[in-house]
Structure 1
Amino acid sequence: MKTRAVVTGGSGFIGAHLVKHLVRKGWSVRVIDNLTRGDQTRLQPVLDDIEIFNVDVRDEDAVTKAVSGADVVMHLAAINGTENFYTQPELVLDVGIRGALAVVNACRKANVPDLVLASSAEVYQTPAFVPTDENIALTLPNSLNPRYSYGGSKIISELIAFNYARDHWRKVQVFRPHNVYGPDMGTKHVIPQFIIRAASSSSNNQQTVPFPIQGSGHETRAFCYVDDAVSGILRMYEHGVTREIYHIGNDEEVAINTLANQVGAAMGLALQIQTSEAAEGGTVRRCPDISKMRQLGYEPRFDLRTGLERTVQWYLQNMDRLPMDGLL
């Protein structure tokens, strides 16, 4: 019998890749997405194989109907993107918190036994230890800074998943993705913005181009290619245990100026990096400890160079259909 899954935010970046992966595995898949930020074209290869419910994840009654009969709900719907944390904190909180409550209540009403909830590395802000394991304290440094609207909503979502419906679940798991990237991830994240900026700066056929970045360039992150992230989510669900938290990511830590230079190299460009003041509330260093996932047999297959080459190629081929307002 096919596993019946519902993916909220299933036309978003990670959600769409997850949906396509589940279909390839032979699962029965429904998608909940009101397309506020998602893009149904991401699902074009599997549209004939899935059901799509164009409803708001905060609409508990509609979500209850959509999840009826499911074995697992994978709740990925959120307002992501650092730019949105600063500019739309009310919406980030509303979708994050009311969406989580609606999904959990819908699962209880429809007797869905399993829940997989997407959290975020943002719950740590500036972690006490790097690489960071899943047991480090969660942090909300300053409730006045709108950046923390996203991390705060994810902390609350985890509490909802584990405690609000504590006795309902056969299996409930939380994964914290760390800087997942890849083709067709929109324009609100650092890697596509770097690609677009480099392409624009090189439009006069210069091979060495000025390249402004935010911060000193010494800040670090660890970037996970989306195919690895999706494989990790499925390995967690199939081999992990209930009431656990898992990091989904890659532990290849890289400085942002190195990232920019690797983006340039993938485009055949030499970048003259120009630093600036960092955004208030940003984190100097972040890299996950993925030992817990490795114990389940997970291992990232794509190094940063390979993943960037694939991502750059997609963006350069699709530049004419990307929204550019406010990017450069």
Structure 2
Amino acid sequence: MSSILVTGGSGFIGSALVKALVRDGHAVRVLDDNSRGAPRRLQEVASDIEFIGGDIRDAAVVARAVKGVDEVHHLAFVNGTEYFYSAPELVLDVGVKGMINVIDACRSEGVGKLILASSSEVYQTPPSVPTDESAPLVVPDPTNPRYSYGGGKIISELMALNYGRKFFERVLIFRPHNVYGPDMGWEHVVPQFAQRVKAMSAAHPAGRLPFEMQGNGRQTRSFCHVDDLVAGVLVMRDRGEHLGIYHVGTLEEIEIADLASRIAAHGGREVELIEKPAPAGGTERRCPDIAKLAALGYEPKVTLAQGLGPTVDWYWANENLAPHR
């Protein structure tokens, strides 16, 4: 069994990965400042892990967290589309400084194994759908703050791969595609739609719910349940090749308007879609080609029909945890 550091380990994906690694018998250390993560996500394994509170941008803290581990899983980043627009400088500051600090700490402490969480946002508008790992990485408009996230992930990938060739024995990169599940945060489409449906249901006890949509709602995404994401990362960790890049997701593509309808239907309601202008920089279609990871044994098991209801229920039951705006 290995000693593993997970940066961003109290985040949504990070905490799910931490719990899976603990179940598999690994010694797990978590580095997070809980600025967007939440200690409650790690409550069930709190006595089984070592937690270091600190900022990924603090080189001394990162070096202390890396010391003595066998491998690092680097997930610390600022996610959530609203942050891409409202705080792009923070997204880049955390992303780029964090990656530099992780690589420097691994080199100074002799840690030769690194797993990096990237993103489907590195393509922005992919040339083909489903999209495989060879699609070009693109920042189509550097003046659009949205690309702070995708740009930061591209920089992180470049650093992991190019330092990996010389200074690491094993570097692996996974690109998650629209991961969802209970307690995933509040800045994403599923929780935002769930909150809106509940609020509008209270305001409109009868009839169809007037539901504003950015654009016409025909944009598509392929939503991957967090359990499948973690399973994919573990398959990659066990069998992936050095400097390998792997998509983790599903092939179940759905229109965003249909997503809104399904969430409303879960509460016994119907929606009337109202088209509003969409912010610049969105992507019309996103669906990963997962053949590369499937060849290693990955097979997503949780359909959207199975995973969406429990996720929506969690948000309806935990409104008190939503940040006050």
TM-score by length of 2: 0.97
Aligned to 1:186: 185
> Does residue 1:125 correspond to 2:121, yes or no?
no
Q: Deviations over 1:162-209 (max 9, x none)?
A: 113531211101111110010001110000000000000001433631
Aligned to 1:317: 317
**Contact in 2 for aligned 1:207/1:268 (Cα 8 Å):** no
**Contact in 2 for aligned 1:119/1:174 (Cα 8 Å):** yes
Aligned to 2:10: 11
Report which stretch shifted further, 59-68 or 242-251. Answer: 59-68
Aligned to 2:158: 159
How far did 1:26 drift?
1.1
Matched AA of 2:27: S
**Contact in 2 for aligned 1:104/1:165 (Cα 8 Å):** no
Aligned to 2:94: 95
Q: Secondary structure at the match of 1:166?
A: helix
Aligned to 2:176: 177
Aligned to 1:85: 84
CA distance in 1, matches of 2:324, 2:248: 30
Q: 1:7-156, aligned counterparts within 5 Å?
A: 7-156=6-155
**Contact in 1 for aligned 2:164/2:171 (Cα 8 Å):** no
Aligned to 2:275: 275
How far did 1:224 drift?
0.3
Q: Secondary structure at the match of 2:175?
A: strand
> Does residue 1:218 correspond to 2:224, yes or no?
no
CA distance in 2, matches of 1:23, 1:265: 37
Q: Secondary structure at the match of 2:6?
A: strand
CA distance in 1, matches of 2:68, 2:324: 41
CA distance in 2, matches of 1:239, 1:296: 6
Report which stretch shifted further, 175-184 or 52-61. Answer: 52-61
Q: Secondary structure at the match of 2:154?
A: helix
How far did 1:322 drift?
1.4
Q: Deviations over 1:213-246 (max 9, x none)?
A: 1111001111100010011111101111111100
CA distance in 1, matches of 2:305, 2:21: 27
Report percent identity of matched pairs.
Answer: 52
CA distance in 2, matches of 1:286, 1:82: 15
CA distance in 2, matches of 1:77, 1:271: 36
Aligned to 1:264: 264
Q: Secondary structure at the match of 1:30?
A: strand
CA distance in 2, matches of 1:312, 1:85: 24
Q: Secondary structure at the match of 1:107?
A: helix
Aligned to 1:229: 229
CA distance in 2, matches of 1:167, 1:237: 20
**Contact in 1 for aligned 2:177/2:249 (Cα 8 Å):** yes
Q: Deviations over 1:82-137 (max 9, x none)?
A: 00000000000011111001001101111112000011100000000000000011
CA distance in 2, matches of 1:195, 1:110: 45
Matched AA of 1:279: P
CA distance in 1, matches of 2:285, 2:39: 34
CA distance in 2, matches of 1:178, 1:221: 8
Unaligned 5+ residue runs, structure 1?
none
How far did 1:324 drift?
4.8
CA distance in 1, matches of 2:57, 2:141: 26
CA distance in 2, matches of 1:108, 1:203: 55
Aligned to 2:246: 246
**Contact in 1 for aligned 2:263/2:312 (Cα 8 Å):** yes
Q: Secondary structure at the match of 1:315?
A: helix
CA distance in 2, matches of 1:251, 1:67: 36
**Contact in 2 for aligned 1:267/1:312 (Cα 8 Å):** no
Unaligned 5+ residue runs, structure 2?
none
Q: Secondary structure at the match of 1:131?
A: coil
TM-score by length of 1: 0.97
Aligned to 1:308: 308
Aligned to 1:168: 167
CA distance in 2, matches of 1:181, 1:111: 35
CA distance in 1, matches of 2:9, 2:263: 28
Q: How many residues align?
A: 324
CA distance in 2, matches of 1:115, 1:177: 17
Q: Secondary structure at the match of 1:299?
A: coil
